Each structure stands twice: as structure tokens, then as C-alpha cells.
């Protein structure tokens, strides 16, 4: 009898370990077997010119990623905003760019996307040199929390999708943070394949981060937004924006850094931007 009980308990434990991933994959496969909704295709056509620049195989892959993302994530309207399919698909399309050519994990820690109509205000604290802490507020366009939420301004999400070659994309920025947060607190070093990969990443990104800080101190022009110099986590998020939106300038000016992101994302945006330029004027 004790042996039978042990076998039963073992089977229960094994089922608890292996059945959820199997069921999740089965459910995802069923979702991806469904035709991509015609209304969603129109949203991509009107809201995301970047989609047209992608090779056909990546377009198909992206649509399948969008289907699962929309099905699994909760979208919540804030400050009276009513969530629509246009919001879901526009956000999902940009977020899933970062998942192309990767084993599909769909941002496993992420549970909710909170959408504000426009920029939102958050309470913060700031300490002065004497250690006195003051209560303050800051205006934000987006945030990524390692507790499973991303917050976005809808107005700025639309702008990011529409102007897709200016090197600024709110959704890519916040979802790059989410990739960085898979292992815990964002540090600017997301999950990589090996110890050697971490060594090369650290060497190249540290050098480029220090170079950016020096350029800004000398008031020299830079490809990357000054916000990238805030800390290594913001540096990774900002350069991810430029990687997808201005790969030609990125590869020309920061070749080693471009190769690091090309390896991490398993993508080469330069190849498809050269073949199918995005018809959106640079500012």
C-alpha cells in the first residue's frame, strides 16, 4: 500500500510539472491555426507601416505571435479609456517584434498591459544631498514592472507605430525592459545563451555606454537618445528602439554593438530595411 501511494503521488507531481506546459502549447497551437482576422489585417495596414517592410516569413510569424499574445494577456483601460481591438493589435504587433525568431515565450511574467489615453502622472520620492526625502510627481509615457505589468500611453503608442524610423518607439522600449526583467531586476543584460555571450555583451555594451556618456558630457551629437545614459537598463531599452527603427545608422556608427543586438534578437533589421524601405519620413 505505501508503494502504491508513492506511485500515485509521483504521478501527481509529474502531471503537475509536465501537463501545464503541454496544455499551454496545445492551446497556443489551436489559436495559431485560426485565420488571422481580416479586421486585424486592416489594423496592421493602417497603424503599422513597419509591418510592410518585414519579409513574408516574418510577417506570418508575427501574425501568429500577435494571435497568442492578444489571447493570453489582459489589456486594461485606465482613466476612463475603453480598450479596443485596435489597441490590442497595435500594441501586440510592436511588442512581438522582439519575439521573432525566438522560442516563443510570450513574456511569461507579463500579465497585464495598462493603457492610459495619454501621458500619466506617477508619485515618486527624491532625496536631496542632506538625505531629506521629498514627495514628487513625474509625467510618464510608459513603465515596465517586473511584477507583471506594463503601462503605456495610447497616444504615444500610436505615434510609435506610425513613425517607425525615427529611433523612438515606446512599446519596443518597455518590452525590452520586460525581456531584461525575465531574470529579475533590469540591469541591461538580458538572458543570454552562455557565459561567453555575457562576457562579450558586457565588454561591448560597457564600452558603448561609457562612450555615450562622454559624448553627452562634451555636448556632441549622438545616435542614441540622452535618456540611454541614465543607467545600463535604459541603455539597453533605448538601443533596442534604434536597432529596429534605424538599423542602417546603427550598423554604420556602432557596428560591434549592432552585432550584439543582432545576435540577441536573432534578427537583422538592416537586411529587410534595405530591401523594403519603410515609407515614413525621418524627422
CA distance 99 to 103: 8
Cβ-count burial of 161 within 10 angstroms (0-12 exposed, 13-18 middle, 19+ buried)?
buried
Q: Does residue 280 belong to any structural domain of this protein?
A: no
Grid cell listed for 26: 496545445
pLDDT at residue 13 in the model: 45
Residues spanned by the domain of 172: 38-275
CA distance 163 to 166: 6
pLDDT at residue 129 in the model: 72
pLDDT tens digits, 156-182: 999 999 999 999 999 999 999 999 999
**Nearest CA-CA partner of 159 in 49, 39, 82, 274:** 49
pLDDT tier, 18 (very low <50, low <70, confident <90, very high otherwise): very low
Q: Does residue 30 belong to any structural domain of this protein?
A: no
pLDDT at residue 123 in the model: 79
Number of domains in the chain: 1
Grid cell listed for 80: 476612463
Q: Does residue 9 belong to any structural domain of this protein?
A: no
pLDDT at residue 15 in the model: 43
CA distances from 168 to 51, 92, 104, 156, 165 (A): 16, 17, 25, 10, 8
Q: What is the dihedral of CA 25, 28, 30, 36, to 10 degrees?
A: -160
Indicate which CATH number applies to the domain containing 140. 3.40.390.10
pLDDT at residue 281 in the model: 42
Q: Does residue 183 belong to any structural domain of this protein?
A: yes
Q: Does residue 15 belong to any structural domain of this protein?
A: no
Amino acid at each position: 500500500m505505501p508503494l502504491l501511494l508513492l506511485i500515485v503521488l509521483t504521478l501527481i507531481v509529474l502531471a503537475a510539472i509536465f501537463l501545464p506546459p503541454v496544455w499551454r502549447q496545445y492551446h497556443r497551437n489551436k489559436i495559431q491555426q485560426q485565420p488571422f482576422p481580416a479586421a486585424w489585417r486592416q489594423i496592421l495596414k493602417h497603424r503599422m507601416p513597419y509591418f510592410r517592410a518585414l519579409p513574408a516569413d516574418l510577417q506570418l510569424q508575427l501574425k501568429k505571435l500577435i494571435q497568442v499574445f492578444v489571447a493570453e494577456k489582459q489589456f486594461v483601460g485606465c482613466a476612463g479609456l475603453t480598450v479596443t481591438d485596435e489597441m490590442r493589435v497595435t500594441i501586440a504587433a510592436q511588442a512581438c517584434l522582439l519575439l521573432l525568431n525566438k522560442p516563443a515565450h510570450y513574456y511569461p511574467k507579463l500579465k497585464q498591459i495598462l493603457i492610459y489615453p495619454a501621458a500619466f502622472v506617477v508619485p515618486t520620492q527624491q532625496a536631496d544631498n542632506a538625505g531629506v526625502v521629498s514627495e514628487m510627481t513625474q509625467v510618464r509615457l510608459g513603465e515596465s514592472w517586473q511584477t507583471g505589468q506594463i503601462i503605456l500611453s495610447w497616444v504615444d503608442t500610436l505615434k510609435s507605430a506610425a513613425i517607425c524610423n525615427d529611433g523612438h518607439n515606446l512599446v519596443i522600449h518597455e518590452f525590452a525592459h520586460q525581456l531584461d526583467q525575465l531574470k529579475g531586476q533590469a540591469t541591461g543584460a538580458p538572458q543570454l545563451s552562455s557565459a561567453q555571450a555575457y562576457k562579450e555583451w558586457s565588454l561591448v555594451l560597457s564600452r558603448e555606454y561609457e562612450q555615450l556618456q562622454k559624448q553627452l558630457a562634451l555636448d556632441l551629437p549622438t545616435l542614441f537618445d540622452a535618456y540611454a545614459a541614465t543607467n545600463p537598463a535604459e541603455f539597453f531599452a533605448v538601443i533596442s528602439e534604434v536597432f529596429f527603427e534605424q538599423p542602417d545608422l546603427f550598423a554604420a556608427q556602432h557596428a560591434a554593438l549592432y552585432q550584439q543586438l543582432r545576435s540577441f534578437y536573432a534578427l537583422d533589421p538592416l537586411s529587410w530595411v534595405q530591401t523594403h524601405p519603410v515609407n515614413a519620413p525621418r524627422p
